[in-house]
Amino acid sequence: MTKQTTNNDELVIGLVSVSDRASGGVYEDKGIPALSDWLAQAITTPYRIEPRLIPDERAQIEKTLVELVDATRCHLVLTTGGTGPARRDVTPEATLAIGTKEMPGFGEQMRQVSLRFVPTAILSRQVAVIREIPDHAALVMNLPGQPKAIKETLEGLKDADGKQLVGGIFAAVPYCIDLIGGPYIETDPAVCQAWRPKTAQRPAPAPQEEN
């Protein structure tokens, strides 16, 4: 679940699953495992995960997001669940409440990906924000609740030959984290090619010679 590092600039990722029934033990949470598995495949930079399983309560969601950014010092927080039109779905409202800048492109692209599969994707209300405090900032994004949809929106869609048909949202995440002062994130291009302008790219580390 976690790729360990002792660097003071370690990448810290918060994972928040919002579900009344999963948090109450009615059934097993699938959101955090799905996020963890995808990140383990996609990110090659060492990182630490901070998981949270909470009910669909706006005050609890806001408190959790603030704690993960302000106290735990996450650079990226991914939520899953609670983004539909039902009365108990309040994750977007809580996310917008704790943000200092809205990043609408992420939600727009998630819906574009999901609409390739189901017309009800138009009902999804995922949002993304930057939360800034004086000495730290983080990107907070709402993701779908289903493991399959989580993978699709993060990774995008490819044809049988591996050609990208629709871009996933995670390709833009590493550069966004750069711009808000976070650690440099590298990814496995076979899963998700991180995009940066040439001026922001770092050279690949030289291979170490065996003794």
**Domain hosting residue 145, numbered range:** 11-196
Residue 209, in any domain of the structure: no
- Which amino acid does the sequence have at 160? A
Q: What is the pLDDT of residue 166?
A: 82
C-alpha distances out from residue 63 to 40, 54, 140, 189, Å: 27, 11, 13, 35
Numbers of helices and strands, H then E, in the chain: 7, 8
Residue 59, in any domain of the structure: yes
Q: What is the pLDDT of residue 205?
A: 64
Q: What is the pLDDT of residue 160?
A: 76
Partners of 5 in the β-ladder: none
The rounded distance, in Å, linking the Cα atoms of 41 and 209 is 26
The rounded distance, in Å, linking the Cα atoms of 19 and 145 is 9
Residue 97, in any domain of the structure: yes
Residue 189, in any domain of the structure: yes
The rounded distance, in Å, linking the Cα atoms of 28 and 13 is 21
Q: What is the pLDDT along the chain (211 residues), one digit of tens a residue?
A: 444 333 448 999 999 999 877 887 778 889 999 999 999 999 999 999 999 999 999 999 999 999 999 999 999 999 999 999 999 999 999 999 999 999 999 999 999 999 988 899 999 999 999 999 999 999 999 999 899 999 999 998 877 777 777 889 999 999 999 999 999 999 999 999 999 999 999 887 665 566 5
Q: How many CB atoms lie within 10 A of CB 130?
A: 17
The rounded distance, in Å, linking the Cα atoms of 108 and 89 is 18
For 91-197, list the strands marked E by DSSP: 101-102, 128-133, 136-143, 156-158, 164-167
Which backbone phi and psi does 6 adopt, to 5 degrees?
-105, 5
Total structural domains within the chain: 1
The alpha carbon of 170 is separated from its chain's Cα centroid by a whole number of angstroms, namely: 7
Residue 207, in any domain of the structure: no
Q: What is the pLDDT of residue 6?
A: 36
The CATH number of residue 77's host domain is 3.40.980.10
Exposed / middle / buried, residue 30 (Cβ in 10 Å: 0-12, 13-18, 19+): middle
Partners of 53 in the β-ladder: 17
Q: What is the pLDDT of residue 7?
A: 40
Residue 211, in any domain of the structure: no
Residue 3, in any domain of the structure: no
